[in-house]
Amino acid sequence: MARILALSGTPGVGKSSVASAIATAVNAEVISMAEFVGARNLQDAYDVDRSTRVVDEGRAREALLREIVVGRSRDDVEWVIIEGLMADVVADQCDLAVVLRLDPRVVKARLELRGYDPKKVAENVQAELLGTCTYHMQEMRKDFLDVDTTGKDIGEVAKAISSIMRGGGDKEPYRPGLVDWISRPDIDPAAFF
């Protein structure tokens, strides 16, 4: 019987790469929220001003809950990883939930390198700065990991999370509330607004 991991975070923090590395380490299958939503037509519309799909969260949750039931019945994998910005919508039904965090300056550089529209870059950098994904995860469950990936390679992050998934590892460094970009003296929040 497989267990379920919800892996969330703003665009650019490394969710897909970390999910892939974890999948290899713990014999897991990855469900990409972006692909899942697109394949099932779970978006309501496209917001041109924000350059983004508007996802029907209720329908996405219902579809993912069905997928979790199927995932739990599997014996060919140890874990099913639900990876994406909105993975929190089913975090209350998962065995473990993780939010990946990253210095907003690095998020900005990565999104610019990907060719994101400047307004979309600003929106996502502000979301990371304010801890929006952490906030949304807290709405769904209190026990989750808030992992700062800044200065760490994918393997290092995946190893830490995989260790916890296997029942080892120290969760304390990843307690929600420890990542606080606004309080950092080397980060000027006003620069992102």
Per-residue pLDDT, 44 = 81
The pair of structure tokens assigned to 37 is 């939503």
Residue type, 170: D
Task: Identify which of 54, 90, 107 has the alpha carbon closest to the alpha carbon of residue 81.
Answer: 90
User: What pLDDT sits at residue 150?
Assistant: 98
Ramachandran sector of residue 51 (left: φ over 0; alpha: ψ -120 to 50; beta: rest): left
What residues form DSSP beta bridges with 121? none
What are the tokens at 109? 């550089």
Say how far apart CA 193 and CA 191 lie, in whole Å. 6
Which pLDDT score is estimated for 54?
Answer: 74
> What local confidence, expressed as pLDDT, does residue 169 receive?
87
Go through 156-187 and write b for each residue having 16 or more CB atoms within 10 A of its CB, e for each that does not.
ebbbbbbebbeeebeeeebebeebebeeeeee
Q: State the pLDDT at residue 43.
A: 80
Residue 17's pLDDT is 98
As a whole number of angstroms, the distance between CA 52 and CA 39 comes to 16
Task: Delimit the domains of the chain by residue range.
Answer: 3-192
- The hierarchical CATH code for the domain 3-192 is 3.40.50.300
Q: What is the pLDDT along the chain (193 residues), one digit of tens a residue?
A: 999 999 999 999 999 999 999 999 999 999 999 998 888 887 887 777 776 777 788 899 999 999 999 999 999 999 999 999 999 999 999 999 999 999 999 999 999 999 999 999 999 999 999 999 999 999 999 999 999 999 999 999 999 999 999 999 899 999 999 999 999 999 988 888 8
Give the distance from CA 104 to its chain's centroid.
15
pLDDT of residue 62: 94
Q: What is the CA radius of gyration of the chain?
A: 16
Contacts of 157 (CB under 8 A, 6+ apart): 14, 18, 21, 100, 147, 149
